[in-house]
Each structure stands twice: as C-alpha cells, then as structure tokens.
Amino acid sequence: MTRKTSVVVVDDSALVRSLLTEIINRQRDMVCVGAASDPLVAREMIRELNPDVITLDVEMPRMDGLEFLSRLMRLRPMPVLMVSTLTEQGAEVTLRALELGAVDFVAKPRIGVTTGLNELASDIVEKIRIAASARVGRHKSGSTSGASSTPPDAPAISAPLPRLSTEKVICIGASTGGTEAIREVLTPMPADSPAIVITQHMPPGFTTSFAARLNSLCRIRVAEARHGDRLLPGHAYLAPGGHHLRIDRSGSNYVAVVEDTEPVNRHRPSVEVLFRSAARVLGPNALGVMLTGMGGDGAQAMREMKDAGSYNLVQDEASCVVFGMPRMAIQCGAAHEVLPLTQIAPALLERLSSTTTAVRHRI
C-alpha cells in the first residue's frame, strides 16, 4: 500500500480540530495522526509522531502560532499549512507566517465554521498534498511582530546602475511559495525599473495586505492593479484576489485590465490570462518570469510570449518551494534561462541594461 501523508492539526477550537480531522481522514492518501489544542501540546506530538505536515492556527493559548512557527522553522523545519481567519489583521499575520516559512494558507470563515470548512475541504486537502511535497528550508531567527518598514539591505553596487529600458514590461507569475519569491525579485529593483505586472494565486482579502507589505520593502511603488491603470515605470501592479489581470493597449500606453471572468486553469487570478495578454499586446517588449508554484498555470502562455519575442526567466528547482509551474514552463520550451531565485533580479537588470545599450548604439 502507498504510504499515507500524516498530518497533525493544531487549533485551539475543538470544533475546528474535529472538522479538519474528519476532512483529512476522508482522504485515501492522508491521515490525521494527532490534534493539538495549543503549540506546547503540538510540540510533543510532533516529536512523538513525526508528521509529514501540520496545519496551524494563529491565535492560541500559551504560545501564538507565529512564535511557534518561528521556533519550528529554526529548529525542525517541516511543511506547515496555516489556517487563518479571513480578516485584515488575519491577512497581515498570514503574510508574516509565509515569510517565516509556512508553505501556504487556508482562509477559514469567521462565522458558519462548519459549513465554511466543509466547503473548503477540497482546497484544504489539495494544499496539504502540495505542502507534503514542498521544499522547506531552515529559517533564521527573527521578530514575529511584523516586517520592517524600510527596504532590506541590497547587494553592494560599486557603480551607478546604467539607465534601464523602460519600454519593457516585466510579467511575473507565481503560486505556492510565491509571496517570498516575488519579494526576492522586487526588492533589488531600482526606482526607475520598467513597469512590473504580477499574478500570484491568492484569494480575495489578502492581496491588499500583500501589496502593502511589498510596497513597504521596495524602491518601486507596489499596489493592487486597478482597472484602467496606466502601466508606469517604477511601479508594480498586483492582480487583486479573485480577479484576472491582463494587459491591453490604449493609444500609445499599456494599461491594466481587471476583470472577474471565469477561472482559467481553476485559478482566478490566472497566470495564463496575464501571460497570454503579454504575448498578444507586448510581444518583444515583454520580459517573462515564472516563479515557484504547483501545477501548470501560465506555462503554455509563456511559450506564446517567447514565440512573440519575449525574453523569459524561470526559477530553478533547487530554489523553488514547489517546482510545478516552472517545470511545465521549461517542458513547454518557454524558458531562455533557468536560474536560482537570487539570480533572477540581477538577470533582469542585466537584460534591461543591455537592451538600453543596444538601442543607444543603434541610434
């Protein structure tokens, strides 16, 4: 028999523990081996049961979930799926959990918990499966109070950056593990970088906080895309949760189109929608970036971008949390370069600088 994925549920609500246990045990490929009411009980269960995945609530007695997660990822890294309340504060805490090393999250309802969690059952078990196969690394010690409001230390630059080509538009797609990967790509980008358009698989209620967190860390301005926004250099535009984001042209300008049409590849927002519009509208003015994520959303459209003249960078397996979307992009022949996450921003800057130099030489 195939070995089942073992899960420990950590939540202070007896009802939630019972519901999650039932949802997990209904699956043929997983089993809930323990349910803990707080992190201290969970710590002993983890030592004894050695689960493949844990689901973790945030607000709990004796030790909150973020403090427990921080200690766990420093001392015994393992896949963690956060089960977070869908509130503005819950979104902030969830993003901090992803920063600390959680693989993904599920937004549980504030009311109607029984009905809500049962409606989310397929999403929960799919994310547990993804978490079980995720690449989880050891995280450094750090405060759990929130992210710094100032940009992180950037790599030392011995000379001013050359003028970048601002005619280009950078298009980024990501899913599981993408919040931290996107941060890694955006924080080195200078204030005069080309417009950046991003689709990260994320539900409504979380992208506002995600954009604000990125904006506090970056030299460029980061915000949720609004329908009709002109795509400007020095700005990044994030697809709002529950809405597709694509690019269109208005006269001589590129603009953002935000719409709530049907899901594509089961996702809304979908990377496929963004990348296909980039192939059609931007052509050789596009730079494509595919980051960590499960599945194949956007891979075929990234090949369409390449065929239309885009230059595409894909994250390598070793640095991905989940090597699904990048693997599919590579298999589709969409990648010009496959790089570790830390090399993607430098490669973008080098490509943009060389494009500007080539244009200047032609003139």
pLDDT in tens, 288-341: 999 999 999 999 999 999 999 999 999 999 999 999 999 999 999 999 999 999
Q: What is the C-alpha to C-alpha distance for residues 178 and 183, in angstroms, rounded to an integer? A: 8
Do β-strands 195-200 and 169-174 pair in parallel, antiparallel, or remain unpaired?
parallel
Residues 272, 239 contacting (CB under 8 angstroms):
no
- Catalytic residue (choose from 11, 38, 52, 297): 297
Q: Measured between alpha carbons, how far is 15 from 225 in angstroms, rounded to an integer? A: 38
Quick check: is 229 catalytic? no
Beta bridge partners of 10: 36, 56
- pLDDT at residue number 143: 41
> Apex CA 312: angle with CA 294 and CA 322, to 5°?
20
Sequence-separated (6 or more) residues with CB below 8 Å from residue 185: 172, 289, 291, 341, 344, 345, 348
Q: Are 171 and 286 within 8 A, CB to CB? A: yes
In this prediction, residue 92 carries a pLDDT of: 86
**Whats the size of the chain, residue-wise?**
363
| Predicted pLDDT at 325 | 98
Stretches in the chain below the pLDDT threshold 70:
1, 86-89, 138-166, 355-363
What is the distance between the alpha carbons of residues 13 and 19, in angstroms, rounded to a whole number?
A: 10
Among the listed residues 70, 165, 175, 193, the single catalytic one is: 175
Annotated active-site residue 175? The verdict is: yes
Catalytic-role residue among 104, 165, 201, 277 = 201
Per-position b or e across 58-73, b if 16+ CB within 10 A of its CB: bebeeebbbebbbbbb
Q: Of 204, 197, 203, which is closest to residue 237 (Cα–Cα)?
A: 197
Return the structure tokens found at 362. 């032609």
Task: Compute the distance between CA of residue 330 and CA of residue 327 in angstroms, rounded to an integer.
Answer: 5
